[in-house]
Amino acid sequence: MDSITASNNNSVGLVTTQYFTFDRFAFRSGKTLGPITLAYETYGTLNEEKNNAILIVHALSGSAHAAGKYSGQDKHPGWWDLYIGPGKPFDTNKYFIICSNVIGGCSGSTGPSSINPNTGKPYGLEFPMMTVQDMVNSQWYLIKHLGIKKLLSIAGGSLGGMQALKWAILYPEMVGSVMAIATSASLSAQGIALNEVGRQAIMNDPNWNGGNYYDSKGPDAGLSLARMIGHITYLSEKHMHEKFGRRFKEEDLSVASFKHVFMVESYLHYQGTKFVDRFDANSYLYITKAIDYFDLKKDYGTLHNAFADVLSNFLVISFTSDWLYPSSQSKEIVQALRANGKNVMYTDIETDMGHDTFLIDYDPLKRNISNFLMREFERMKKQ
């Protein structure tokens, strides 16, 4: 509970989401779409030299709302509020923090649930198939719009880490440093398989209706199930055991049913149901597919080639109990960077909390982020 109290004391306070719209955007698939809107939030102040800007890139279910609250009554702060704020690792007294919702998302940025101006109806599956590169290219417009020539850093976990790596490759001169946390140069077959089960859960829900459900009840059951599967992959076996064990909600066999007998079941159901209220099923399909497609080795021949021209300094972090994005995949990135003579720090943080460690209040992670930024900012100021 300490962390929650602490985060209240050093919160960025009340925030509002802003919107940036640009005319047209060419997807990697060759399709173009427009206008495109990106929802974004900023915290802290851009300094005169414009060298203190950090772009936070979110994971699968994130949004532009990374820190602070929308109102005094708001119960839930932004998704990375533990890490962003005055005196926190992303210290808003020093840095200017930007976070935008990915293209294809459903929290204010143009995505499958947005209205297609040509038809007056939501895009649904008319929305182009998109990639991590498209997320990055669309963010590039936003960064230009904000008048920033070079970012001090780009930071993200999971899919966010993929975006951060891609940024460094596509726009080397714009990225001072990268913090790639619990990520991979390409998702494993196991990861793709789990994503596909989630997608099938959505698409097999009759309410999905070929992605055309915006004027009826959506595929809530399918989306909820997809989220439940996701949540299993974000936790480690050990953490799940410690958190729930085999504890019962209802032990008495005479009244027990197939509904939520074990605590872990009711936890997953809760997560699933909660998710349905804030996430669009089609966005889930598009974004997970973008994660699956992401493959730096395939795109550049080898991982070594992928990083040949990057100019950023790197902090790569993995978590020992993360089986979705295992440490070995982070090491692969580190090795390729090292072989290219790039500046890279790597640490494999000991934790039982699995993939989602980057979202919880975890001191070793906080310390590394905070120290890395401090040193990178010193370097940037010397340039």
Partner 1 sequence: MNMHDGIGYDLITAEILPGTKVLDLGCGDGLLLQKLQNTKQVIPYGVEISEDGVCQCVEKGLYCYQGDIDEGLADYKDNSFDYVILNQTLQITKRPAYVLQEMMRISKNAIVSFPNFGYLKTRLQLLIKGMMPKNVLLPYEWYETPNIHLLTIRDFQAFCTSNKYPVKKEYHFTMSSKGKSCQIRILPNILAQYGFFVLDGERYTNNRI
**Shortest gap between Cβ of 332 and partner 1 (angstroms)?**
10
271 by Cβ neighbours in 10 Å (0-12 / 13-18 / 19+) ranks as middle
Catalytic position from the list 61, 158, 224, 312: 158
Cβ-contact 292, 187 below 8 angstroms:
yes
Residue 2: other Cβ atoms inside 10 A: 7
Greatest Cα pair distance, the chain, in angstroms, is 72
**Shortest gap between Cβ of 175 and partner 1 (angstroms)?**
16
List residues binding partner 1 (CB under 8 A). 313, 315, 331, 334-336, 338-339, 341, 343-350, 364, 367-368, 371-372, 375, 378-379
Q: Which is nearer to partner 1, 143 or 182 (CB)?
A: 182
Catalytic position from the list 114, 322, 327, 356: 322
**Shortest gap between Cβ of 348 and partner 1 (angstroms)?**
5
Q: Which is nearer to partner 1, 96 or 372 (CB)?
A: 372
How many whole angstroms separate alpha carbon 308 and alpha carbon 180? 17
Alpha helix ranges (H) inside 294-358:
296-300, 303-306, 327-339
β-strand partners of 345: 315
Phi, psi for residue 343 in degrees, rounded to 5: -85, 115
Task: Please confirm, yes or no, whether 322 is among the known catalytic residues.
Answer: yes
**Cα 224 to Cα 70, 227, 283, 289, 306, distances in angstroms:** 25, 5, 13, 18, 36
343 by Cβ neighbours in 10 Å (0-12 / 13-18 / 19+) ranks as middle
Provide the token pair at 306: 């992928």
Q: Which is nearer to partner 1, 185 or 334 (CB)?
A: 334
Q: Which is nearer to partner 1, 86 or 364 (CB)?
A: 364
**Shortest gap between Cβ of 343 and partner 1 (angstroms)?**
5
**Shortest gap between Cβ of 101 and partner 1 (angstroms)?**
30
Give the pairing type, strands 153-157 and 177-181: parallel
Task: Please confirm, yes or no, whether 158 is among the known catalytic residues.
Answer: yes
Q: Which is nearer to partner 1, 186 or 368 (CB)?
A: 368
Amino acid at 161: G
β-strand partners of 262: 248
**Shortest gap between Cβ of 181 and partner 1 (angstroms)?**
13
**Shortest gap between Cβ of 186 and partner 1 (angstroms)?**
18
Q: Which residue has the tokens 């209040």?
A: 361
Q: Which is nearer to partner 1, 99 or 344 (CB)?
A: 344
Angle at 67 between CA 181 and CA 357, to 5 degrees: 30
Burial 255-269 (b: 16+ CB within 10 A, else e): eeeeebebebbebbb
Q: Which is nearer to partner 1, 243 or 331 (CB)?
A: 331
Residues with active-site annotation: 158, 322, 355
